[in-house]
Amino acid sequence: MTRSQVRAFVDGSALEKVRETLDALQRLKNHAPESSFAAEELRFLQDLLDHEAFFRSLADHKLQAGKQR
């Protein structure tokens, strides 16, 4: 996954999807059993970990912008 793909995911996703992804990423980091994730979701989250700080900054910005509406 590239940074441009991360940006496209955040830009193209609804606020709820961004929140769900942040929650899932945190569960993965907290060592939730891999079996608790769908295989496709697990691969996506593992790829996203490579760009976690970038994803979190984009997600935070999007969520803040959503609160101001």
Whole-structure pTM value:
0.89
For the chain, give every domain's residue range: 3-67
- Is residue 67 predicted with pLDDT exceeding 90? no
- pLDDT tens per residue, range 21-53: 999 999 999 999 999 999 999 999 999 999 999
Q: How confident is the model at residue 54 (pLDDT cuts 50, 70, 90)?
A: very high
Residue 54 has which token pair? 């970038």
Phi and psi angles of residue 55, each rounded to the nearest 5 degrees, phi first: -60, -45
- Is residue 69 predicted with pLDDT exceeding 80? no
**Residue 68 confidence (pLDDT):** 80
Q: How confident is the model at residue 63 (pLDDT cuts 50, 70, 90)?
A: very high
